[in-house]
Structure 1
């Protein structure tokens, strides 16, 4: 029987590589008992701020069999988004997180996952399963670590020894038994605290724990109200998301540019200076960010973030 499960693992990894995924790891679908008290503590401390959805589906976050009936395996996948060139050139210009330079990853990667599922069913035969890209209560970093793809850094992001952290995580939860990979036990951050020291809002409250309600990404994307005045001058020109804790991480010296044409920035985005940001119209917003994750803030939300940084 193990020969069959090994064969499935090999097929899955080959098909994932063919679709451009950099890494693919396999874990047994089971209740994440070690994570339950951590998640409960994080929620009790209100580290999710106004992200009420984080408190929903507590059990589903911890038990993949509640997401896919009869789930046996969680497949974790890594997809690179590190750009060839950082935007903008000038340090005083406003900035957006690198993951949002191109088309919205939710759609780009979801398409790849659908293709992956189809290809696997063609090669293996019919089985049940679902694809997830940051779109359901799946604890993706924990599953990726369980499948040996990396460890959680002090900034809580998954770190991979070959490519750092500038990548998307995605999952397939399936009802097929597949040989699991050994989990990543070792933490390769050591005594380094660069991410903790660099965070201008002190959002990293302890190793591996981020107070989401203090994070620049939270303020610029999730928060719908006005940004608190005490945050004035702390955003370092970020108007959508923030890459500070990743930019300073030594493991990201291993980042290589992605090969995904859909993640290339819109031509107009490459030349946007602060004057362009300040004079941004809804028409330009809809044109430049038509397919971007930045649409999540909506035009008024992005204007709020621009004015907060520049006023």
Structure 2
């Protein structure tokens, strides 16, 4: 199967799996990653012949959060409460299987097994054009805001990938910084 057919099949499978956002990024090293000695900086340290990072996002904004009895108690993130870390893994497993069935290597970025994702998913999502990093350090998508659970696959399939990152739209806005306790 040709590269374009594989990529189209990945898109169809992602839609079928309920994935809201799909992007493809080059699997080169994340040179701006703050942890300079971290293995996470370079996808090729996890998959030696890595060519593409497939990034998915699942919208979690519709979840109902628990009511907080006391407003001065700490709160946790919508993503953590959703349990979507593992659900995104389940949703991308068929994409990994598709790639493997086509003779490619595919490594799911599963943070539940390794104590953290094997790549910086937020930076990969930015590279894939899914969104930009806000001043609060979260990924912001034009369509879904900050309400995306991310997942990723590193593969040696040389797929077409995004060449232009999303423009950072925060500019002089400070709403998130001012709202943060």
| Band of TM-score, shorter chain | 0.7 to 0.9
- How many angstroms does 1:101 deviate by? 3.2
User: CA distance change for structure 1 residues 137 and 117 in 2, over 3 Å: closer, same or farther?
Assistant: closer
Please state how far the C-alpha of 1:91 moved relative to its aligned partner: 6.9
**Residue 114, structure 1, aligned to residue 112, structure 2:** no
RMSD of aligned C-alpha atoms? 2.4
Match of 1:128 in 2: 105
1:278 corresponds to which residue?
none
Paired position in structure 2 for 1:105: 84
Mark the CA change 1:85 to 1:185 in structure 2 (over 3 Å): closer, same or farther: closer
> What are the equivalent positions in structure 2 for 1:95-244 lying under 5 Å apart?
95-102=75-82, 104-122=83-101, 125-134=102-111, 135-200=116-181
Counterpart-to-counterpart distance in 2, 1:32 and 1:85? 35
**Rounded Cα–Cα distance in structure 1 between residues aligned with 2:76 and 2:122:** 23
CA deviation vs aligned residue, 1:25-53 (integer Å, no higher than 9, x gap)? 001111223x15x444xxxxxxxxxxxxx
Q: Distance in 2 between matches of 1:198 and 1:68?
A: 40
In structure 2, distance between residues paired with 1:193 and 1:93? 23
* Structure 1 residue 96 displacement after superposition: 3.9
* TM-score, structure 1 as length reference: 0.51
The total of aligned residue pairs comes to 176
Shift of 1:158: 0.9
* Whole-Å separation in 2 of the counterparts to 1:167 and 1:133: 16
Q: Give the whole-Å Cα distance in 2 for the aligned partners of 1:21 and 1:110.
A: 11
State the distance in 2 between where 1:108 and 1:165 align: 18
Aligned with 1:65 (options 27, 44, 53):
44
Question: Who wins on radius of gyration, i.e. which is larger?
Answer: 1
CA distance in 2 between counterparts of 1:92 and 1:145 reads 33
More helix by share: 1
Structure 2 length normalisation: TM-score? Answer: 0.84
User: CA contact under 8 A between 2:53 and 2:153: conserved in structure 1?
Assistant: yes
- Point out which structure has higher relative CO (alpha carbons under 8 A, 6+ apart): 2
Which 10-residue stretch deviates more, 62-71 or 183-192?
A: 183-192
